[in-house]
Amino acid sequence: MHGVTDTLQIIKRNVKRNFRIPQLLIFSSIQPIIFLLLFNYVFGGAVRGTGSEKYINFLLPGILAQTALFGAIQTGVGLAEDLSKGVVDRLRSLPIARYAVLTGRTVADAVRNVFVIILMSVVGSILGFRYHHGFGNFMLAILLVLFFAYSFSWVSAIIGLLLKDSETVQVAGFLWVFPMVFASSVFVPVETMPSWLQVFARNQPVTQVVNAVRHLTQNVGSSEAVLHTALWASGIIVIAAPLAVWLYKKTV
């Protein structure tokens, strides 16, 4: 089977893309830093009493999840761009495994997310973030965020294949990612929301991943969230990945 080497070649190409196009790098690194600074210093004072002494300890797990999700939008954007530029046609005319174009894209975006998550952790620690549940759990938290983002990359790939235009995909990306990020425990405790919204906010996967990261880094809340996140991410991949490959095969 050539699937693995095909995927590796596509990963190589996409990683080069992610790191050689300056606006992409800025988008994925400067923007989350700005978010972190803004939320920490603008809202930090107002949102006290969040369970940890410092807002940054509450905020960073949320921002990590948010950054990873925004990164996932780029999977669909990049795919749509390759479709419209004819790159996908070129790849499809080669005798390569059909899924390689998609796995190569999602894995390359995960590689970029590794870079961004490390950067965010460094900036977070400069702002005063500290983990209080051991280094091992901190690493587990980062892996969990990456795994979670990887599953959303596949959802994003589906959107990219359906909409086929990179700008539309970008806009649509914010439409589905924003409600998930804001109606969650990313920035504020869910208990402060109206009860009808709490039903959604409590049960959606973004809250699970954020609670899991808070548990693993701050030793607050229950460890159940870790399991829930892993289940959510696995479930999303099991459904979204075959659907994306199927869509890719029949995309004109």
Partner 1 sequence: MKNDNAIEVRGVSKHFGSLKALDDVDLTAARGKVTGLLGPNGAGKSTLIRVMTTLLEPHSGTVFVDGVDVLKTPAKARKHIGLAGQFAAVDDFLTGRETLEMVARLYHLPRKEAKQRAAELLDRLDLTEAADRQTKTYSGGMRRRLDLGASLVATPSVLFLDEPTTGLDPRTRLQLWDIIRDLVKRGVTILLTTQYLEEADALADYMYVIDHGKMIAKGTAEQLKSSLGQDVIELKVADKDLQKAREALQKALKQEVEEDELTRRLLLRTKNGSDDLLTAAGALKKASIKAEELSVHRPSLDDVFLAITGEKAEK
Which parts of this chain interact with partner 1 (CB under 8 A)?
2, 5-6, 9, 12-13, 16-17, 20-21, 85-87, 89-96, 252
Q: Are the C-beta atoms of 81 and 109 separated by less than 8 Å?
A: no
Least separation in angstroms between residue 8's CB and partner 1 is 9
Nearer to partner 1, 90 or 132 (CB): 90
Q: Are the C-beta atoms of 83 and 91 separated by less than 8 Å?
A: no
Nearer to partner 1, 48 or 92 (CB): 92
Nearest Cα residue to 157 out of 88, 230, 66, 232:
88
Nearer to partner 1, 2 or 132 (CB): 2
Least separation in angstroms between residue 246's CB and partner 1 is 14
Least separation in angstroms between residue 18's CB and partner 1 is 9
Nearer to partner 1, 57 or 74 (CB): 74
The token duo for 39 is 């939320």
Least separation in angstroms between residue 100's CB and partner 1 is 8
Nearer to partner 1, 40 or 106 (CB): 106
User: Torsions phi, psi of 235, nearest 5?
Assistant: -60, -45
- Give the span between the Cα atoms of 90 and 82, in whole angstroms: 10
Least separation in angstroms between residue 21's CB and partner 1 is 6
Nearer to partner 1, 93 or 195 (CB): 93
Q: Are the C-beta atoms of 61 and 229 separated by less than 8 Å?
A: no
Least separation in angstroms between residue 176's CB and partner 1 is 28
